[in-house]
């Protein structure tokens, strides 16, 4: 299965965001991963709708993989869709999601976006499995969400493999399996072997002396 590389711009030089995004796409990244943080669901604040809107105007052809680490993503689905999001991923643990996950997925799709569902490292994989038929992407966090540049949690490999086994068993090959956090040249092969199809990478790309070489290595997996 071919691997897609989603570049997390959290580690980019945000004063030059459009240029940095152009660079990473030219270097071979398949899409842009936009980490939205509200200071509630995670202990950090990043950027939101206005930044996506400007970026989308500057780079209208890029695919925007938007990771919503916020308490109430359904309330913002329309605004992110209008700003240019292609895929909106929400967290199963978020207060505005956990009580009616399918309603949030429907709200995202009603805006014309694809819908992803993510779990934090401490959430058992079994909690995600009932929703696999309902979503376009399952995201396994391989670090505690909130910050770029953290070390990959090794247990994530087993978690990815468990979701992959279930997707295969149910014939859900249209559902992407994404991993996010600490993905680099060393950990990417482990994720690919475990069945991940979309790899998010931030610091390992933007801090690399040779970004195209890192991306080529990941695509070769
Ligand atoms: C963490 C974010 C990640 C992060 C990845 O909360 O969801 O997307 O930016 O950064 P690296 O690749 O540096 O771990
Ligand atoms: Zn992310």
pLDDT tens, position by position, 35-70? 999 999 999 999 999 999 999 999 999 999 999 999
DSSP state of 74: G
94, 202, 207: residue to mutate for ligand 1 pocket, most atoms within 8 A of CB: 202
Q: Is the pLDDT of residue 1 over 90?
A: no
Q: What is the rounded average pLDDT of the residues 60-81?
A: 98
- Of the candidates 16, 105, 18, the one whose C-alpha atom is nearest the C-alpha of residue 68 is 105
The number of C-alpha atoms within 13 Å of 17 and in the hemisphere containing its C-beta is: 19
CA 42 to chain centre: 15
Predicted TM-score (pTM) of this structure = 0.98
Active site residue 35: yes
Q: Which ligand is nearest to the CA of 152?
A: 1
User: Is 193 a residue whose pLDDT tops 80?
Assistant: yes
Q: Which residues of 103-140 are buried (b: 16+ CB within 10 A; e: fewer)?
A: ebbebbbebebbbbbbbbeebebeebeebbeebbbbbb
Q: Which of 30, 38, 65, 180 is catalytic?
A: 180
| Confidence at residue 30, expressed as pLDDT on a 0 to 100 scale | 98
CA distance 181 to 184: 9
Give me 28's structure tokens.
């071979």
């Amino acid at each position: 299965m071919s691997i897609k590389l989603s570049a997390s711009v959290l580690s980019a030089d945000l004063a030059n965001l459009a240029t940095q995004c152009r660079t990473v796409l030219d270097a071979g990244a398949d899409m842009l991963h936009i980490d939205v943080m509200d200071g509630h669901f995670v202990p950090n604040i990043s950027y939101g709708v206005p930044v996506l809107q400007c970026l989308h105007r500057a780079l209208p052809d890029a695919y925007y993989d938007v990771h919503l680490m916020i308490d109430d993503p359904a309330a913002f689905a329309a605004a992110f869709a209008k700003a240019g999001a292609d895929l909106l991923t929400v967290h199963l643990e978020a207060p505005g999601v956990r009580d009616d996950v399918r309603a949030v997925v429907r709200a995202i799709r009603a805006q014309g976006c694809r819908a992803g569902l993510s779990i934090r490292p401490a959430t058992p994989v079994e909690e995600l499995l009932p929703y696999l038929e309902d979503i376009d992407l399952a995201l396994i966090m391989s670090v505690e969400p909130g910050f770029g540049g953290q070390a990959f949690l090794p247990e994530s490999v087993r978690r990815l493999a468990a979701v992959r086994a279930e997707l295969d068993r149910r014939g859900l090959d249209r559902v992407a399996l994404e991993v996010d956090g600490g993905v680099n040249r060393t950990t990417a092969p482990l994720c690919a072997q475990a069945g991940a199809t979309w790899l998010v990478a931030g610091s390992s790309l933007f801090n690399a002396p040779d970004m195209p070489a890192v991306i080529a290595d990941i695509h070769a997996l």
